[in-house]
Amino acid sequence: MKKLWDKGYDINEEIARFTVGRDRELDLYLAKHDVLGSMAHITMLESVGLLEKNELDALLRELRNIYAEAEAGRFEIEEGIEDVHSQVELMLTRRLGDMGKKIHSGRSRNDQVLVDLKLYTREQIRLVAEDVRVLFEELQGQSERYKDVLMPGYTHLQVAMPSSFGLWFGAYAEGLVDDLMLLQAAYRITNRNPLGSAAGYGSSFPLNRQMTTDLLGFDSMDYNVVYAQMGRGKTERNVAFALAGIAGTLSKLAFDACLFNSQNFAFVTLPKECTTGSSIMPHKKNPDVFELTRAECNKLQALPNQITLIMNNLPSGYFRDLQIIKEVFLPAFAELRDCLQMAAYIIRKIQVNEHILDDSRYDLMFSVEEVNRLTTEGMPFRDAYRKVGMDIEAGQFQPCKEVHHTHEGSVGNLCTAQISALMQQVWDGFGFERALSAERNLLKG
């Protein structure tokens, strides 16, 4: 197995297999980001005199070719090659000779994998945020569409007060806004440049870390080189908390939808193509997509704890323990995005029962409306409460099934526009274009 740290002696193959673990598989996630980091690094090396201009031009040209291979899914880490960093350097050396061996000056695999993870994570955060926004828009659209359709609200799983589908859809939309606020904080922590921290103690080369920060579109650098290394694991944990927040919202939405789709509720009908049948019961249409979404999202909510347990007893400096975090962290984005996309599809196609309140079992949820009506007519609230309660006990309560809520965020005033404005404010706060523009500039040649 070829290693960047080869010193001319062999190690036990079983030891090599154990220490490499799943790195060769997982590093494919990082391939194009490793190339971007190398492009910025060698551009900086040329500016401080550690590469010639003709060498930089040749290396950048080949790195752009390797990036295109990674984008097209053709990049492979060959058998016997330890990781993505070794593979990229090997490809350059094959194509350009000794020139390819110069790209590692002034960095370690420690800060190389750090910058790879940061670039990968910020891209994935953007993709997750885009999927969240699609689901948000679907929820907002359905909130407006069904704003006048009443449904029971529950406390303790007991019929409580009048709600509406406008409220129900809109509640999850606003919940996603809060989730994106936390994701934005995770993005801010992620979008700082560790490159130049080397193995965690800097370099005697005259590196220009501000230059690589600008070239890669980071908001700032991780200034202290020891802290840059301490950020490994910490960044993943913070991002995992943000992903878990979105997963928590999705899991609750999925549970509601499964419950409301059941015959005992019959509030909604899920699209047929998102249900499955039974092998012996021909009438069954099971909400498998939302059940799997609930399970996947509950699993994702364990991710911060998994990362914490891997890293929580490590002192400062680099340790190989951190490699294991990649196994649970890197695939999490795709898992969450699958759930977001499935949820958006179902919410777009879901059918709402507009005649729920024809069933007399929901009559008592209008009791609070009657208490409030009597109170506005001059009866003390406690007396009104007692009167309505006694009418209910005597079987004499006659509901008025009209509601007159006017305050902000209520059945009659959903504040949909305000929630959309809040989402736009959070979205603008990410500043994704800075990173995208920097990457385009590196790649355009």
For the cut 50, the answer to whether the pLDDT of residue 5 exceeds it is no
DSSP conformation class of 286: B
Which is more confidently placed, 20 or 322?
322
DSSP conformation class of 357: G
Query: What average pLDDT is seen over the chain?
Result: 93
Q: What topology is assigned to 109-356 in CATH?
A: Fumarase C; Chain A, domain 2 (1.20.200)
Instruction: Return the pLDDT at 274.
Output: 85
Nearest to 364 by CA among 405, 398, 321, 323: 398
Identify the residue whose tokens are 């007519």: 377
For the cut 60, the answer to whether the pLDDT of residue 9 exceeds it is no
Task: Give the number of other CB atoms < 10 A from CB of residue 14.
Answer: 8
Is-contact 32 67, C-beta < 8 A? yes
Distances (CA, A) of 21 to 12, 14, 117: 14, 11, 18
What DSSP line would sit under 41-60, residue for residue?
A: HHHHHHHTTSS-HHHHHHHH
Instruction: Return the pLDDT at 3.
Output: 53
Tell me the C-alpha distance between 290 and 293, whole Å.
5
Amino acid at 41: H
Instruction: Return the pLDDT at 22.
Output: 75
What average pLDDT does the segment 137-156 reach? 97
Domain ranges in the chain?
13-102, 109-356, 359-416
Angle, to 10 degrees, between the axis of helix 288-300 and the axis of helix 332-349?
A: 150
Angle, to 10 degrees, between the axis of helix 109-145 and the axis of helix 165-190?
A: 160
Tell me the C-alpha distance between 168 and 356, whole Å.
14
Distances (CA, A) of 218 to 195, 211, 215, 229: 11, 10, 8, 17
Strand locations in 310-399, DSSP E? 351-352
Instruction: Return the pLDDT at 11.
Output: 60
Which pLDDT tens digit goes with each residue over 210-249? 999 999 999 999 999 999 999 999 999 999 999 999 999 9
Tell me the C-alpha distance between 116 and 114, whole Å.
5
**Torsional class of 266: left (φ above 0), alpha (ψ -120 to 50), beta (otherwise):** left
Tell me the C-alpha distance between 52 and 68, whole Å.
24
Tell me the C-alpha distance between 360 and 335, whole Å.
42
- Residue 161, strand partner residues: 153
Is-contact 226 316, C-beta < 8 A? yes
Identify the residue whose tokens are 């997509």: 289
Tell me the C-alpha distance between 370 and 355, whole Å.
21
CATH number of 13-102: 1.10.275.10
Tell me the C-alpha distance between 35 and 120, whole Å.
11
For the cut 80, the answer to whether the pLDDT of residue 14 exceeds it is no
13-102 and 109-356 share one fold? no
Which pLDDT tens digit goes with each residue over 352-394? 999 999 999 999 999 999 999 999 999 999 999 999 999 999 9
Burial code of 176-208, b = ≥16 C-beta within 10 A, e = fewer? Answer: bbebbbbbbebbbbbbbbbbbbbebebbebebb
What DSSP line would sit under 200-265, residue for residue?
A: TT--SS---HHHHHHHTT-SEE--SHHHHHHHHHHHHHHHHHHHHHHHHHHHHHHHHHHHHHSTTT
Which residues fall within 8 angstroms of residue 102, CB to CB, at 6 or more apart? 42, 45, 50, 51, 55, 59
Q: Kindly calculate the radius of gyration of the chain based on its CA atoms and give it in whole angstroms.
A: 28
What average pLDDT does the segment 193-220 reach? 97
Which pLDDT tens digit goes with each residue over 64-123? 999 999 999 999 999 889 899 999 999 999 999 999 999 999 999 999 999 999 999 999
Give the three-state DSSP class for 423. Answer: helix
